Chains A and B, each alone.
Chain A
Amino acid sequence: MWFADLIGGMVVFLLGLAVVFFSRQLPYMSEYGPGPGFFPLWIGLGIIGCGIVVNINVLRRRDKTGAFFKPRTKMAVSILIQIAIAFLLFPLLGFSVVLGLFVGASMRIMGKHGWIPCGITAVVTGIAIHFIFAHWLSIPLPTGMVGW
């Protein structure tokens, strides 16, 4: 956790530097008062300052226990990957089909449910999404090749 905290502090510090860099490209003052670069510049400086304090705190810390990666972190990452794959499939298969498949697949992979309940849930979810969001609430969800 100590190392993760240090990396976190470094990222904050670098973010601050980037904000300052891009704010400097905007006018700091305008004809009437503060310009568009005024507020972001101070935010950036604040972030840099806080990043330094965080890193000092981390370096001074003696307690280095705790872990960033936990026993179930793999499962969280696996869900992230499943969601990303689902989003990639949106243009191809459409929202209703993909999200139905996602629910069925995650039930199978994460919950270890049987194929039949997973399949039924996937179909029911897909139909429900189509009717609730696309029909009832008139949200123009992408339909993909399936037309749903």
Chain B
Amino acid sequence: MDLLHNLYTGFTIALTWTNIFYCLVGVFFGQIVGVLPGIGAPTAIALLLPLTFTVNPTSALIMFAGIYYGVAYGGTITSVLINVPGESSTVMTCLDGYQMALKGRAGAALSIAAIGSWIAGTGSVIILMTFAPALAKFALRFGPSEYFALAAMAFGLLTVFGGGQPIKTVISTLIGLLLATIGLDIVSGLPRFAFGMPQLLGGIDFIVIICGIFGVAEVFNSIEEPEEGELIKQKMRLRDLFLTWEEWVASRWAIVRGSVIGFFIGMIPAGGITTASFLAYLAEKRYSKHPERFGTGAIEGVAAPESANNAASISGFAPLLALGIPGSPTTAVMLAGFMMWGIRPGPLLFQTKPDLVWGLIASMYIGNFLLLLMNIFLIPPFVAILRLPYTIIMGFIVIFASVGAYSVNNNIFDVWMMLGFGVLGYVMKKLEYPIVPLVLALVLGRLAENSLRQALMISGGSLSIFFTRPISAIFISAAILAYLTPVIRWALKGLRKVKVDAA
């Protein structure tokens, strides 16, 4: 009954005209961001975050959440119509979505993506409603050792799920942690790495870093390697969007399986929506009686990853709201938003700010419904956005990033810092150092350091505190295992090679 009462409260908040407006703006903007290659959800939220200082936090969060799950819908359009994923989470959709479009079934591909995303999104909100408060209740038992172990596990899992070279993931994480230490030490009050510059005493603001590392860096990368594809010129009528009975039969269970996979992967710190869509596609291919159809226009190949990425974008809110631990770069940016408004997400959030939490959750039903309508009736205008010259988009990014960085402390120094981080992000991407670990470590750095120091103070300097408390022991073991995974993989590869050579 409590759940229904909370949901009712949530709807009374989400259904005010102001919040419906912010939800509509969020999903509309998210859809546009999804369509545009070269700009993602974290960038969009990072660029808009400084402009919401004066907005009610609940309304702003409803808008940002709308952007987050709206992006997953929008990215599909470019994947299907031009074979260029608008978002990394829709890469897998290109494989079969584009093939369907070539066969004249672009409408069906976009329809199943919208329907699958809607079913997965709505289903995930229902599970999130029951799961997140339970997780928050469980997290009330957490002390400093558990929080440090949880952060360590999140960093460790990045090396498993992050792709690329694990050593570079670790370096990126360490640089993020290093950046988080800049400024006055919270315990002793001593300045660290400020080099006598008063602007650095308060630390480098998170917004300045993400505006540079996501926003401006993306401009450089997109100019250097533009993602171009040819738009399939196909006149789409409303009836083209209807699925045939065979298509629906083929995709209904793919939606369910994709949703389940997406929900669980989205909850894992560092899991993320891209991994979710990737795994859902592979699972669907393995499960299929005709795996050879995948890659040639199988509708299940669109339904599964699209459902998974949307389910993951919703379930990613569970660790953020209940534990205060973001699982993806987008939720990391949103955590920065919480901090900006003076709200600390975590186990107590459900008790101290029920209006915010339940208003946000209820808005997800509304947002997903709005997106379903948009993706059925408004595809042509969104496709038209693809014709916008990149120089204009680039201009917008630079404007928002500059104003955003400036507005944090009203000084030009931050704008230059933002540009510096833009260059850093650009070079890191060129050298294949992932950006996401840096951002997650930056957000969690203070929590990790303070928890570590508090835990060691409690234990008198003994590391055994992390292994003797059951919850922290589980987390820290998972972290160690995650860090050892690349070594284990390397050793297994070596063993296999020896066996092959011997044979």
Contacts and interface: CB of A to CB of B under 8 A. Distances in A.
Interface of A: 4-5, 8, 12, 15, 19, 22, 26-27, 30, 32-36, 38-40, 43-44, 46-47, 50-51, 53-54, 57, 68, 70, 72-73, 75-76, 79-80, 83-84, 86-87, 90-91, 95, 99, 102-103, 106-107, 110-111, 113, 121, 125, 129, 133, 137-142
A94 to B, nearest CB: 12
Interface string B404-419: 0011001010011001
Given A4-B430, A5-B431, A34-B456, A141 B403 contact: yes
A103 B392 contact: yes
B391 A99 contact: no
Given A46-B174, A113-B391, A76 B426 contact: yes
Given A40-B178, A129-B403, A33 B456 contact: yes
Contact of A46 (B170, B406, B422, B452): B170
Contacts of B188: 27, 30, 35-36
Question: Is chain A's binding surface mostly helix, strand, loop or mixed?
Answer: helix
Contacts of B501: none
B403 A26 contact: no
A54 B168 contact: yes
Given A79-B219, A106-B394, A36 B190 contact: yes
Interface string B183-225: 0010110101100000000000000000000001001110111
A70 B423 CA distance: 16
A43 B178 contact: yes
A84 B223 contact: no
B169 to A, nearest CB: 10
B21 to A, nearest CB: 15
Which one of A39, A95, A138 has the greatest number of beta carbons of chain B within 10 Å? A39
A36 B191 CA distance: 9
Contacts of B181: 39-40, 43
A83 B412 contact: no
A139 B414 CA distance: 15
Nearest to A109: B391
Nearest to A19: B178
B28 interface: no
Contacts of B4: none
- The 6 A-B pairs of least Cβ separation, nearest first, read A33-B457, A103-B395, A36-B185, A111-B391, A76-B220, A76-B224
Nearest to A70: B224
Interface string B365-409: 000000000000000000000000111101100110011001100
Interface in B156-171: 165, 167-168, 170-171
B177 interface: yes
B137 interface: no
A34 B449 CA distance: 10
Contacts of A103: 391-392, 395, 398-399
